[in-house]
């Protein structure tokens, strides 16, 4: 007697101008469907944001509760907050506050769902790799990159080197070539680091670059979207192995029980 395939609903809270997370998260999970039995559907709610400035990010974050409520109406199984710098701009450690608050919104709506923020996922992904020193690539203006560096370092991970592409228009960030980080990352310092973040931004496409960079430098390479998938699978209690997207998703590993 065959066992019914388990389907999971993946919810995402995305900035209104984000065009990447609704392609990269499904792409990784579709790749997982080729090697594992679970199946996924994808559902989004949007927060208004056009330019990656601290003011717009703060105003956008205030709208995330509404999005969590809407997605819980769809009874999603896990909810991802898909804007790393919005969380980091709200203060060190804010991902924990956001995850707890958004989870509480789903509970109050009678549809409790674990919550992952891309900011928390990146930090936790680096910790899962045992990374103490890293180099990062971002599309941000330098002051926002500094904010991201300070946030990561507050979590006990040293940022040895960084490159800022200084693109303020969020739509323009999403138009970047997903293979561009392969060449750009050649300018990053990699000696003495434990891992490289090929895109510390959920809007800058990078999936096609993760494995090629890792193969070249011989170090773990990840991105915000790869880390977000890893944490989503863990929250769902599922195996986290997805081939072709770097060391974080390379090893077989059962996720823990769904929790926040």
For 80-121, how does the pLDDT look when each residue is reduced to its tens digit (9 = 90+)?
Answer: 999 888 888 889 999 999 999 999 999 999 999 999 999 999
| Residue 254 CB neighbours (<10 A) | 12
User: Among 45-59, 115-129, 173-187, which is the least confidently predicted range?
Assistant: 45-59
User: What CATH number belongs to 120-224?
Assistant: 3.40.50.12500
CA 147, 150, 154, 156 torsion-angle sign: positive
Residue 37: pLDDT band by 50, 70, 90 thresholds? very high
What's the pLDDT score for residue 3?
56
> Any idea what the Cα angle at residue 253 is, between residues 179 and 216, rounded to 5°?
30
Residue 105 a catalytic site member: no
pLDDT score of 46: 93
pLDDT tens digits along 39-92: 999 999 998 877 666 777 777 788 899 999 999 999 999 999 998 888 888 899
Split at pLDDT 50, 70, 90, the class of 198 is very high
Residue 150 has pLDDT above 90, yes or no: yes
Average pLDDT across the chain, whole number: 92
Extract the annotated binding site for substrate. Answer: 18, 83-85, 140, 170, 202-203
Percent of the chain predicted with pLDDT > 90:
79
* Options 57, 71, 83, 152, the catalytic residue: 83
Residue 125 has pLDDT above 70, yes or no: yes
Q: Which residues make up each annotated binding site?
A: 18, 83-85, 140, 170, 202-203
Q: Using the 8-state DSSP alphabet, how is residue 190 labeled?
A: -
**Given this model, what pLDDT does residue 254 score?**
57
Q: Looking at 201, 204, 242, 248, which residue is catalytic?
A: 201
The confidence score (pLDDT) of residue 151 equals 96
Specify the CATH class of 7-117+226-242 in words: alpha beta
CA distance 221 to 158: 16
pLDDT computed for residue 258 by the predictor: 38
**Domain residue ranges in the chain:** 7-117+226-242, 120-224
In this prediction, residue 85 carries a pLDDT of: 81
**Equal fold, 7-117+226-242 vs 120-224:** yes
What is the average per-residue pLDDT within 218-226?
97
User: What are the phi and psi torsion angles at 215 (to 5°)?
Assistant: -65, -35
Distances (CA, A) of 197 to 67, 136, 161, 181, 193: 28, 5, 11, 10, 11
pTM: predicted TM-score of the whole model, two decimal places: 0.93
Pairwise CA distance, residues 215 & 224, whole Å = 19
């Amino acid at each position: 007697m065959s066992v019914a395939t388990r389907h999971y609903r993946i919810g995402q809270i995305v900035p209104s101008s984000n065009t990447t997370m609704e392609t990269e998260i499904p792409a990784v999970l579709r790749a997982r469907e080729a090697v594992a039995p679970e199946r996924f559907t994808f559902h989004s709610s949007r927060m208004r944001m056009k330019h990656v400035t601290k003011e717009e990010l703060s105003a956008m974050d205030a709208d995330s509760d509404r999005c969590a409520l809407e997605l819980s109406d769809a009874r999603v199984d896990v909810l991802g907050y898909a804007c790393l710098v919005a969380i980091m701009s709200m203060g060190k450690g804010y991902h924990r506050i956001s995850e707890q608050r958004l989870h509480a919104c789903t509970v109050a709506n009678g549809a409790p769902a674990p919550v992952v923020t891309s900011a928390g996922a990146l930090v936790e992904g680096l910790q899962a790799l045992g990374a103490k020193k890293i180099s990062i690539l971002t599309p941000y203006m330098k002051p926002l990159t500094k904010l991201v560096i300070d946030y990561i370092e507050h979590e006990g991970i040293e940022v040895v080197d960084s490159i800022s592409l200084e693109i303020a228009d969020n739509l323009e960030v999403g138009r970047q070539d997903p293979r561009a980080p392969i060449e750009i990352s050649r300018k990053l310092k990699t000696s003495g680091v434990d891992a490289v973040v090929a895109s510390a931004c959920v809007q800058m496409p990078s999936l096609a670059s993760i494995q090629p960079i890792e193969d070249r430098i011989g170090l773990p390479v990840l991105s915000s979207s790869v880390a977000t998938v890893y944490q989503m699978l863990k929250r769902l209690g599922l195996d986290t192995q997805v081939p072709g997207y770097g060391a974080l998703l390379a090893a077989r590993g059962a996720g823990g029980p769904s929790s926040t």
